[in-house]
Amino acid sequence: METCHILVVEDDQDINRLLCRILTDGGYDVRPAFSGSEAVLWAEQYEYDLVLLDLMLPGLTGEEFIARMRKQKTMPILVLSAKAGLEDRVNVLRIGADDFIPKPFDNDEVLARIEAQLRRYKEFSAPVGAAQVLRCGDLELDREAVRVTAGGREAALTAREFEILALLMSHPRKVYTREQLYETVWGGEYMGDDNTVNVHISNLRAKLGKVSDREYIRTVWGIGFKMNVE
C-alpha cells in the first residue's frame, strides 16, 4: 500500500511532536512545520496527501496558508484549532479547509478523520469503474486529472468541492438533500443544523461563477441541490 505523506503545521512543539507520533504510529510519513511560512516552503517544494493545520501560527496564519494553498493545491486540509467558535469554523471552510477539529482533541478522532479525508480524496480522484470524464453542458469534470473546466476555463476547486461536484454530475437529474451530500461526501452522520454543506455549495458556485456566467448548481427549495440541466 502506498504511504501517505502528511504535513503537520503546529507551532507548539509538544503538540506537534504528539501529532507526529500519532500519525507515524498510524503508518503515515510525516513532516513537521512550526510556522505558516515554513509550511508554505515545504508545501510548495513537495507533494503532500494531507495537511493538518493549526490556525494561530507565527509568520503566516493558518487562514493565510489555506488561501495561498488553494490557488495551487487540492489536497485535503484539516484544521485543528482552539478557535472553535461557529464563525471561525465557517470561515475556514469558506476559504478552503475540508474539516475542522477543535482543541483539545481526541487522538483516535484525529486519526479517524484523517483516514476518512484520505479515503475520499483517493476515491474521488480516480474511482474504479466510474466514468473518468463527466459533462453537463459546457461543464466538464475529469476525475483522473482532478480538473474542472467551465466554458473551457479551468476552475480551481478544493478536494471537497471536487467531490461534491462529481457526485452531483454523476446523477445530474437527481436532487440531493443536505443530509445525503454530507453523509456521502463527508462520511459522517448529518446533525441537521450543520452549515458545512451550504458553505461548500456556496464556495463551489462562486468558483464556477468566476469562470462562467452560467448557473450550474440549482437549489431545490426545501429539499436540496441538483445540477441545472434544464
Could you read off the pLDDT of 32-88 as tens digits, one per residue? 999 999 999 999 888 899 999 999 999 899 999 998 888 777 788 999 988 767 787
Domain shared by 167 and 118, yes or no: no
Domain shared by 157 and 83, yes or no: no
Q: Distance between CA 184 and CA 207 in Å, rounded?
A: 22
The region of weakest confidence among 49-53, 117-121, 209-213 is: 117-121
For residue 108, give the CATH number of its domain.
3.40.50.2300
Q: Distance between CA 61 and CA 150 in Å, rounded?
A: 32
Q: Distance between CA 225 and CA 222 in Å, rounded?
A: 10
C-alpha cell at 139: 461543464
For residue 24, what pLDDT is reported? 94
- What values do phi and psi take at 106, rounded to 5? -95, 130
Q: What value does the mean pLDDT take over residues 202-214?
A: 92
Domain shared by 104 and 140, yes or no: no
Residue with cell 493549526: 54
Domain shared by 89 and 197, yes or no: no
Question: Of the candidates 125, 147, 162, which is a domain's last residue?
Answer: 125
Q: Distance between CA 28 and CA 20 in Å, rounded?
A: 9
Domain shared by 121 and 9, yes or no: yes
Could you read off the pLDDT of 153-196 as tens digits, one per residue? 999 888 889 989 999 998 888 899 888 888 888 776 666 666 88
pLDDT greater at residue 187 or residue 141 = 141
3-state secondary structure (DSSP) of residue 191: coil
Please state the domain count of the chain: 2
Domain shared by 13 and 118, yes or no: yes
pTM of the model as a whole = 0.60
- For residue 153, what are the β-bridge partners? 150
Domain shared by 169 and 215, yes or no: yes
Owning domain of residue 164: 133-227
Q: For residues 123 and 134, is the Cβ–Cβ distance under 8 A? A: no
Question: Of the candidates 94, 125, 156, which is a domain's last residue?
Answer: 125
- What values do phi and psi take at 152, rounded to 5? 85, -5
